[in-house]
Chain A
């Protein structure tokens, strides 16, 4: 088995590489193909859960349960992600209504989360927990959560909700993930997952600098702990674009500018590239 998870190694490159591989496999749309790939690469039995546009593989063996979230886009195109990160309507910071709202407002009454990501997690939650809960319970297996891009955002939010359901998350690895909430939300994540979340960010990748409504005052924040890979300066690129703004508000043409800068750095966001750069 080429890839395995090492329980007592936190933020270990071997675990990061294994999780990056799982994220790569999560892009396989055909559940049967994905299941055989997880069997081949990890020796784990995997099941695809797919609701609307949100997909997650839950893989398990005697020791581990691994939830790997797929991004909204295929690894070679990003079009699906554009709306997620730069459209006002889904970019709002909110607390959803219902039980999911109670689980997330537990982060603090000032915590707010990305509306679109929250909706995607809500879509997939019931079938997801129906698989994860019995899998973790039988034999007290360790729960790992991972995801690339949009999948990384969902992985982080799912990890929070698993913990609120007393399904203790062992470690979280995200790759090129955008931001999911405001400062109060991320302070709570830092407290909850200190030493258990590892957020891999390619320094030239723009996605981790998003979402944003206005480049002047962005309320989105990241949680700890950032693990830098590669070379480049995504912040300088965004700051350069901010200089083009007249009103501070993202105009349609500025959104296109950000997006073409993003696409010129497609390789920096690619999950395969992330996996190869982890050392």
Chain B
């Protein structure tokens, strides 16, 4: 829709300009009809129109309407392109993918998570929002077929993790930057046999726990904290890959 809009925007702007010009000429003509002095005034010194319009509103009304319509139509493309983001729907994003319901609430503009209750058939659920907490997880308990759950950056705790132990089909679980603890991960995640991928960056879950979890089943993958960035050395001299500066 926006591609077509961009394509035709130029014609819309031109239409607006045409209406503006017609209105302006009509206004000058109206001014001449009232009197030569008004006519020359508006023609040669456009600001005079600001005096003419209120004084002879009956004569100026129709030209004025043309001018206003011209301004509105002509500026429409600018408004739409400026407000383009406003037209992106920030509600729940749901799609059927290969027969499975994928639901995304990450970054939405709503607060009421009861929409989850109406979608027990969800297979992939992404709701990486800071207002998702342990209580929110009550709403997803009917989702028996849930395979992927994104809880990155949420307020869930160990109590929430305990609830997730019920999702026996869970394959992917994202817990980045949450308060879940090492002990809770060990206690509750061991029972999820199908769990293959976890994101535990920014948590206190121990690397050793993740290592053991991965060893328990071939093919398991984990996103873990990497060592913090080291400051870049100021003189990387002695490295064979250091090239000469250009012209040097």
Question: A248, B241: Cβ atoms under 8 Å?
Answer: no
Question: A88, B3: Cβ atoms under 8 Å?
Answer: yes
Question: B88, A110: Cβ atoms under 8 Å?
Answer: yes
* Complex CA–CA separation, A17 to B3 (angstroms): 39
Question: A106, B106: Cβ atoms under 8 Å?
Answer: yes
Which A residues lie within 8 Å of B150 (CB)? 106
Question: B236, A101: Cβ atoms under 8 Å?
Answer: no
Which A residues lie within 8 Å of B240 (CB)? 2
Question: B2, A92: Cβ atoms under 8 Å?
Answer: yes
| Chain A interface, DSSP helix/strand/loop, else mixed | loop
- How many inter-chain residue pairs (CB < 8 Å) link A and B? 141
A195 at the interface (CB under 8 A from B): yes
Q: Please pick, from B3, B10, B108, the residue contacting A109 in the complex, using a CB distance under 8 A.
A: B108
Which A residues lie within 8 Å of B244 (CB)? 276
* With A112-B88, A219-B84, A279-B245: A166-B223 Cβ-Cβ less than 8 Å: yes
What is the size category of the interface that chain A forms with chain B? Answer: 35 or more
* Complex CA–CA separation, A195 to B23 (angstroms): 58
Closest-CB distance, B6 to chain A (whole angstroms): 6
Question: B229, A97: Cβ atoms under 8 Å?
Answer: no
Q: Please pick, from B91, B128, B198, B223, the residue contacting A106 in the complex, using a CB distance under 8 A.
A: B128
Which A residues lie within 8 Å of B128 (CB)? 106
Question: A2, B241: Cβ atoms under 8 Å?
Answer: yes
Question: B227, A17: Cβ atoms under 8 Å?
Answer: no
B window 73-94: CB within 8 A of A: 77-78, 81-82, 84-85, 88-93
Question: B77, A249: Cβ atoms under 8 Å?
Answer: yes
B54 at the interface (CB under 8 A from A): no
Which B residues lie within 8 Å of A98 (CB)? 97-98
Which A residues lie within 8 Å of B19 (CB)? none
Question: A217, B81: Cβ atoms under 8 Å?
Answer: yes
* Complex CA–CA separation, A99 to B223 (angstroms): 20
Closest-CB distance, A168 to chain B (whole angstroms): 5
* Complex CA–CA separation, A214 to B83 (angstroms): 13
Question: A170, B226: Cβ atoms under 8 Å?
Answer: yes
* Complex CA–CA separation, A9 to B232 (angstroms): 6
For this complex, 6 residue pairs linking A to B, each with C-beta atoms less than 8 Å apart, are: A8-B227, A88-B6, A167-B221, A168-B222, A219-B84, A248-B78
What is the size category of the interface that chain B forms with chain A? Answer: 35 or more
Question: A110, B126: Cβ atoms under 8 Å?
Answer: no
The interface of chain A, by Cβ under 8 A from chain B, is: 2-4, 8-14, 17-18, 21, 88-89, 92, 95, 97-99, 101-102, 105-112, 137, 163, 165-168, 170, 182-184, 188, 191, 195-196, 213-214, 216-217, 219, 247-249, 251, 273, 275-277, 279
Question: A213, B6: Cβ atoms under 8 Å?
Answer: yes
Which A residues lie within 8 Å of B124 (CB)? 102
Q: Please pick, from A8, A102, A182, A184, the residue contacting B102 in the complex, using a CB distance under 8 A.
A: A102
B104 at the interface (CB under 8 A from A): yes
Question: A219, B245: Cβ atoms under 8 Å?
Answer: no
Q: Which residue of chain A has the shortest Cβ distance to B8 in the bound complex?
A: A249
Which A residues lie within 8 Å of B77 (CB)? 247-249
* With A3-B241, A102-B104: A166-B78 Cβ-Cβ less than 8 Å: no
Closest-CB distance, A131 to chain B (whole angstroms): 16
Question: B236, A109: Cβ atoms under 8 Å?
Answer: no
**Sorted from nearest, which 10 A-B pairs have the closest CB atoms?**
A108-B107, A10-B229, A166-B197, A166-B221, A217-B81, A102-B102, A109-B93, A12-B232, A105-B104, A3-B241
Closest-CB distance, B170 to chain A (whole angstroms): 14
Q: Which residue of chain A has the shortest Cβ distance to B4 in the bound complex?
A: A88
* With A89-B3, A166-B199, A248-B81: A184-B221 Cβ-Cβ less than 8 Å: no
Question: A105, B93: Cβ atoms under 8 Å?
Answer: yes
Q: Please pick, from A9, A101, A213, A216, the residue contacting B78 in the complex, using a CB distance under 8 A.
A: A216
B60 at the interface (CB under 8 A from A): no
* Complex CA–CA separation, A109 to B243 (angstroms): 44
B212 at the interface (CB under 8 A from A): no
Which B residues lie within 8 Å of A95 (CB)? 93
Question: A9, B230: Cβ atoms under 8 Å?
Answer: yes
* With A99-B98, A137-B219, A166-B221: A108-B229 Cβ-Cβ less than 8 Å: no
* Complex CA–CA separation, A219 to B80 (angstroms): 12
Question: A249, B236: Cβ atoms under 8 Å?
Answer: no
Besides A13-B236, A214-B6, A247-B77, 8 more A-B contacts (Cβ < 8 Å) are A14-B241, A98-B97, A101-B95, A165-B221, A167-B221, A217-B81, A276-B243, A276-B245
